[in-house]
Each structure stands twice: as structure tokens, then as C-alpha cells.
Amino acid sequence: MLNFAKKTLPQLPYINIHKHGQILSEDELAIRNIFASDIHEVVGKRIGSLSIGLHPWHVDERNIDEQLALVKEASKHDSVIAIGEIGIDRITAAPFELQKEAFANQLRIAASVNKPVIVHCVKAHSDIISIIKREQFKGKVIFHGFNQNEQIAEQLLKNGFYLSFGQALLNGNSNASKIFQDIPEDQFFLETDEADINIIKIYKRAAALKNTEVKNIKLIVSQNYNRFLPPA
């Protein structure tokens, strides 16, 4: 866990809660997402903080047991600080019921190692909430890449989940921009996901939407990050 007590505000990192690819800023602290099929290439290497999971796009009945076993084994590594991205996607070709099964299994894995989860969700918010409740998962949950309407935002926030905002914030007409202005400070993160943009650009836009300075957004996200991670 980061120790922010000894840092001044300008020294705080730009935390990128969910990204694919290379880090673009020396001031960036990123959780890099790794798919289950790529686990052997990264686990155990000194490449920073990771989230690892079986993405709903990749759920396949021919190898689901093998993929889940990879996630379970990788989840024990210190470099893996979250399980994800995992979830349900109603517009992908993967069988819906199998996606639900994979998601529930990975919630159990996360619970067994006391690690939070990063969720990919497309048109399945109610399904995901239902499974989280059924599994009695008590860990922290982030819905990444949020760009949904106010009703869905309220539903997720009411359940105590975090929302993570990325490239959609740069569009002034997006749901993300409208929601972000009023989101509680203790329930949001910022990310770049697959976008080839610098996380600093997202922070600047977030600060403008909140009518504050970038250093204050950095402090808020840093505090949320410490709450997101389980105690050491």
C-alpha cells in the first residue's frame, strides 16, 4: 500500500486504475490488466501492479476450467493486486450462462485471496449485482470504463461500488461527463483502458469537470486507492 502521509500533493502519482499496454508517464502508477491467456508471460516478473482475470469475451467452454485455474494460481502472487477485468457482456458471442459462471467463480477466487475486483459490464448491471450479492462478496468492486446513464450510476453507487472513468470524460456530451460532475469523491477512479492517451489528460479533464485543481483530483484518487486495496 502506498504511504501518502510523507508526500506533498505535487508528488502524488497519477493513478491509472485500469490500463492495457505501456505506461506513458513517469508519474503514472498503473494497474495493468492481463488476460488469463497471457498470465504465464508476466506473473513473477518485476513489471509493477497487475490485475488478472478471465475476460467475458474470452469465456469458452472448451477451456474455461484451465483458464480459471490460471487465474486462481496467478491470484496468489504479490504483483496481482486485483482480479479483473471480469464480468458479463450481453453483446459478445460467449454463452451468457457460462459468463455468469465464470464471473461467480472469479468472485470466489478474489474472496479467497482477499483482493478486490475490476468489472467489465455491458448491459448486465443487474445480473452482476445479483451475482455479487448471491456470492456474498465483501471485497471492493470497480465498474471500469463507466459511461452509463444516471439511473445505472445511482444503482451502482447505492451498492457501494466504485465507478472508473476514462476516455469518455473527454466528450462533453457523454454520460460519463454528466455523471462525473456530481459523483461522490470517495467512489471514483480514473483510467485509460485501451486508449492511447496519457492519464494526465484524463486528470485534467476530471479537474475541470469538478471545478478544482489536478492536485486535488490526485489526492482524492490516491485516498480511494488506499481504501480499495485490502489491508497489508
Closest CA to 30 of 41, 22, 42: 22
In the numeric block, which cell numbers belong to residue 165?
472513468
Q: Report the b/e string of 194-226 with b at 16+ CB within 10 A.
A: ebeebbbbbbbbbbbbbeeebeebbbbbbebbe
Give the residue extent of every domain in the chain. Answer: 25-114, 140-232
pLDDT for res 66: 94
pLDDT for res 2: 46
| CATH numeric code, 140-232 | 3.20.20.140
R_g of the chain, CA atoms, integer Å: 17
pLDDT for res 44: 62
pLDDT for res 135: 98
Distance CA 94, CA 117 (A): 21
pLDDT for res 5: 43
pLDDT for res 4: 42
Closest CA to 211 of 188, 180, 173: 180
Q: Which residue ranges of the chain lie beneath pLDDT 70?
A: 1-10, 24, 42-47, 230-232
The contacts of residue 126 (CB under 8 Å, 6+ apart) are: 155
